[in-house]
Amino acid sequence: MSNPYFRFKQFTVWHDKCAMKVGTDGVLLGAWVPVADNVTRSVLDVGAGTGLVALMIAQRNTEAEIDAVEIDKDACIQASENVEKSPFKNRIKVIHQSFPEYAIAKKYDLIVSNPPFFAHSLKSPDQKRNAARHNDTLPLRLLIGHATKMLSEYGRIALILPAQLSEELDFIIATHGLYQIRRTDVISAEGLISKRFLIELSSKNLPGKRLATDTLVLETNERKRTLQYQELTKDFYL
């Protein structure tokens, strides 16, 4: 049996009630997304799961108020418990609701999501795991379309996605008049091709701002974390 919790430097995430456990994708998103205090005051985490990404952002930004929306009841309960046990409980609100139904007058400076991304693939008998992994209930176009309506004037959307969704994302970006700010292609180990990418989008094309691209390699050939990955996650991993 796998460990029912994952301990980080400033908080612990229990994931025994969640279909999707603590994983590398969530850690990458939470550590990578820019969350400077002066421009990121309000954050929405879509598909909060265990609450991992919301907790990571709360640790990195000491002032941000974070709403975390989660459709699965058990995951929502667990995320609430993880938040309540953390040092950031007064700044994170967990909401049990589907994102397409989530409507609020509040505008967000940052909307983040480690979304379900499998489409047209074999499903498991576990319905909760299917909902967490497959995009039937929250396809990418719906996620970005709804998020775009909830952004503040200079708000941003940050996601981690599989490489095969790159072309679909380009079409969605063009449809909604969004701009790519930053993209990092993620390679799991030296010598392999990228299967994930981190992307930051904005509804504003800031003067003189060009798309920043880079590559992140997670492991060496000896299965050790690269210095690059260690530097990114140094404030979290024990």
Q: What is the pLDDT of residues 31-79, one digit of tens each?
A: 999 999 889 999 999 999 999 999 999 999 999 999 999 999 999 999 9
- pLDDT of the residue at 136: 58
**Which tokens go with 107?**
């505008």
**Which tokens go with 213?**
């691209």
Which amino acid is present at 19? Answer: A
Residue 119 dihedral angles phi and psi, to the nearest 5°: -130, 140
pTM beyond 0.95: the answer is no
Which amino acid is present at 92? Answer: I
Residue ranges in the chain whose pLDDT is less than 70: 1, 118-137, 207-208
12-14 and 65-70 strand pairing = unpaired
- pLDDT of the residue at 137: 65
As a whole number of angstroms, the distance between CA 97 and CA 75 comes to: 11
